[in-house]
Amino acid sequence: MHLFDPISIRSVTLRNRLWVSPMCQYSAVDGVPNSWHLVHLGSFATGGAGLIFTEATAVTAQGRIAPQDTGIWNDAQRDAWAPIVDFVHQQGGLIGMQLAHAGRKASTYRPWSPERGSVPLDRGGWPTVAPSAVAFGRYAAPAALTLDGIAGIVQAFRAAARRALDAGFDLVELHGAHGYLLHQFLSPLSNRRDDQYGGSLENRARLLLKVVRAVRDEVGVKVPVFVRLSGTDWAEGGWDVEQTAVVAGLARDAGADFFDISTGGLVAGVEVPVGPGYQVPFAEQVRHAASVPVSTVGLITTPQQANEIVQSGRADAVMMARAMIRNPHLPLQASIDLGTPIDYWPDQYLRANI
């Protein structure tokens, strides 16, 4: 495999294996994307990325990380996403929507706010929900979801997937990582339920698998469904890579096609051994243990580094975030650096293809 080899997933063929990771922008109003999102995501399309993901896009208003998150819980949001998708397609790119619910990590201030933590109710915040009434760090305590509430979450993901397809998205990704709601159900550190959604791994994975099945049923057989999973909580007694591999296999059987492996996010203040490519071993282990295709992410910053990961078979694709922000046209540059001619330079930029 090479970084610039195409990859086919169901009916979709991606032009290369250098993809744009979901990156929250905290710049929407009432969940509606705007010109910032068009320019942000559109620049990656002109830059030659094989796949572009939206930021974590909330399936309900209650599921937003911050009040400024994008959403896909109503038709106005769907209609605002459509021209962004159209522009990406005009550049020959493909785009996926990451569907998310933040659970107990919802209703927080955006990162550049001078304030931290949960947004109070009288300042535009809202009550949060989780598998159990266990707060994240110093955030406001969530309410434990009822069985009816859990059923509503499944239906919200399903309805969101339909709206994403109606807006023209090529695929969807279910966000089961970074300490958000689906991850909160998976990890024994945040899930202390004693019903069919808590206790055993089978029970803790039940919500994720129900969401996968519901979304697969909604999108049909042609549309790829990705799942993002954290390979570890980086905390004793928490979620780990062995459980990740088991659940990836179960999710594949339930209808998921591809697994986007990251780490962390569930426990505040844990020590993470950050370094170049530090999350690659988790993706590699899941790939081999579960026999599923995976992408990897995390301090992968150069085309050479990304290509080595793919060529060595450690992952099927590479996600980049900060490196793409610094250079949205990094895939075009990578084709030059790696000596791999491509035929999808924008005509307006051909003079730079030297």
Asked if 238 and 221 touch (Cβ cutoff 8 Å), the reply is no
Tokens 């928490």, located at residue: 238
| CA nearest neighbour of 174 among 208, 221, 217 | 208
Give the Å distances, CA to CA, from 253 to 26, 196, 212, 258: 34, 20, 10, 12
**Which residues on adjacent β-strands are paired with residue 9?**
12
Pairing of strands 7-9, 12-14: antiparallel
Q: Classify residue 135 as left (phi > 0), alpha (psi -120 to 50) or beta.
A: beta
CA-based max dimension of the chain? 63
3-state secondary structure 152-212: HHHHHHHHHHHHHHHCCCCEEEEEECCCCHHHHHHCCCCCCCCCCCCCCHHHHCHHHHHHH
Instruction: Spot the catalytic one: 26, 109, 139, 180.
Output: 180
**Tokens found for residue 44:** 């990656």
Please indicate whether residue 180 is annotated as part of the active site. Answer: yes
**Tokens found for residue 330:** 């990094």
> Residue 7 has what DSSP assignment?
E
Residues 169, 210, 288, 186, CA torsion sign: positive
Pairing of strands 52-58, 129-130: unpaired
Q: Which amino acid is at 219?
A: V
Known catalytic residues? 180
